Amino acid sequence: MEAIVDIESKDKQSIWLPMVLAGSMFFILGCITWLNGAITPFLQQMLELTPLQASFIISSFYIAVTVAGIPSAMLIKRVGYKNGMAIGCMIMAGSALMYIPAAKMQMIEIFLFAQLMIGVGQTVLQTAVNPYVVKMGSEKSAAVRVCIMGLLNKSAGVIVPIIFAAVVVSGLVEGGAKLSQEQKDMMANSLIAPYIGIAGLIFIFALFAKFSPLPDLVFDEESKTSKGELKETLAHPHLVLGVIGIALYVAVEVIAADTIGSYALQLGIADYSVMTSYTMACMLIGYAIGIALIPRFMSQQSALMMSGIAGIVTVLAVVFGSNNSFVLANMLLVPFGGPQLPDPLLCIALLGFANAMVWPAIWPLALDGLGRLTGTASGLLIMGIAGGALGPLLIGVGNAAGLGAQGAYSLMIPSYLFILFYAVKGHKMRSWK
């Protein structure tokens, strides 16, 4: 294993190259993650899936985190953070190529396996790159660095659905139409070239991570893994509560990003396929404000507390707003040539703003003081991403149980209450007694 250099001991100029590497990884993660919102309805139409079957396309991606979280942490301990980034990218590149036989055979099982393996690769990459960002500089400004990474990640979330619609969906049959086999073949073939391109791009970033002259992380304490390290890590309440917070956050993030299109479709909105971009744009604004305010004008804890409060207020606006009201659109969109969208729909997008600071704030708070346990702790936090598999399912169950498409969003409130608790008290807890 290559020599390890302590990034934190270097001057500020030495941070920029690691930031470029980490930023490129977060952009790739964004491309892969937020492509789910575009590919799911596409495959649902092409393969004639029921809504329940289609939900597994997203769920398989996030369930992979549960499977790969701890093994990823063990891998990072063995090969280092830089090599972990390269390995994660290689797994994702190979998994993207699985879309070729899946498209040729038009088999949902192969698509699901490809999604699962892409999720595994993403988990390895996340486990490596998140602590790399947190520990490469001052702990007080860690949330700002994570915000910058989030800007890149969510920028991909704005761009990718639009590109997918233009490159793959444009010129194909309209949504909801009954397809002939020839039309299904045309849709399947339209996936091949883009996924070859995706695999090639990720492979290039894997080489960049592997061969770039960047330092790896080192911690103050010896980093060898003991047999009881997982148990030792779980003895830290602020970490365990942080993992729960991440899981609940990812659930509400995925709800805001991946169900907004379905809600728009139920309202008869013509451009429902690009609604995810609205949520991601709101997250970008939130990240930009976070970068400007933290830590100079606001602490990480305060930002997290405000996120919890904003989430609760915005969910209430979704649930109790009128679909015949267009106040927000008339203020924010129509004057600039945008569409006139109902207030509850735009409030779902505004949840992206409320969610923006949660991930950047929880990570440094949860990893605080863990030293040699950081690798294992990072793996546990990454496992929290599995919460994304439950988010859309929760909304679907609430809808079916009688809450309705609008009222089902009220089920997000407990998640924001927990995030608020973690900001006020949970992150301070250092003992279970």
pLDDT tens figures, 84-107? 989 999 999 999 999 999 999 999
Compute the distance between CA of residue 414 and CA of residue 433 in angstroms, rounded to an integer: 24
User: Is residue 433 a part of any domain in this protein?
Assistant: no
Of residues 364, 365, 372, 360, the one with CA closest to residue 430: 365
Q: Is the pLDDT of residue 1 over 50?
A: no
pLDDT band at 111 (very low <50, low <70, confident <90, very high): very high
Alpha-carbon torsion, ordered 273, 33, 300, 247, to 10 deg: 100
Structure tokens at 140: 């007080």
Q: Which residues contact 250 (CB under 8 A, 6 or more apart)?
A: 62, 384, 385, 386, 387, 388, 391
Which residue type occupies 3? A
In a domain, 282, yes or no: yes
> 4 lies in a domain?
no
Helix, strand, coil share of the chain (percent; to 5): 80, 0, 20
Q: What span, in angstroms and rounded, lies between the C-alpha atoms of 33 and 348?
A: 19
**In whole angstroms, what is the distance from residue 151 CA to residue 296 CA?**
19
| 1 in a structural domain | no
Percent of the chain topping pLDDT 70:
88
By CB neighbour count within 10 A (0-12 exposed, 13-18 middle, 19+ buried), where does 26 fall? buried
Closest Cα to residue 129, out of 1, 216, 251? 216
Buried b (16+ CB within 10 A) or exposed e, 161-177: beebbeebbeebbeeee
Q: Under 8 Å CB-to-CB from 191, ≥6 apart: which residues?
A: 99, 103, 168
Whether 90 and 226 have beta carbons less than 8 Å apart is answered as no
CA dist list (Å): 332 to 8, 73, 261, 348, 405:
42, 44, 19, 15, 24
Mean pLDDT for 320-339 is 90
**Does residue 397 lie within any of the structural domains?**
yes
What pTM, to 2 d.p., does this model score? 0.75
Expressed as residue numbers, the domain containing 115 is 10-214+227-428
pLDDT at 379: 75
For residue 409, what are its two tokens?
A: 């969003």
Does residue 210 register a pLDDT over 90? no
Q: CA 98 to CA 36: how far, in whole Å?
A: 15
Cα 135–139–145 angle (5° rounding)? 70
**In the 8-state DSSP scheme, what is residue 259?**
S
The pLDDT value recorded for residue 202 is 92
pLDDT band (50, 70, 90) for residue 175: low
Domain count, the chain: 1
Identity of the amino acid at 322: S
**169: pLDDT confidence band, cut at 50, 70 and 90?**
low
**What's the pLDDT at 392?**
79
Tell me which residue has tokens 């744009």.
Answer: 281
pLDDT of 415: 95
Note whether 262 and 254 are within 8 A (CB).
no
Burial label for 296, CB within 10 Å (0-12, 13-18, 19+), is exposed
Please answer whether residues 393 and 59 qualify as being in contact, where contact means their C-beta atoms are separated by less than 8 angstroms: yes
CATH number at residue 96: 1.20.1250.20
In a domain, 3, yes or no: no
Q: Which residues are within 8 A (CB) of 372 and not within 5 positions of it... i.e. 6 or more apart? A: 219, 221, 222, 223, 224
- pLDDT at 177 (0 to 100): 55
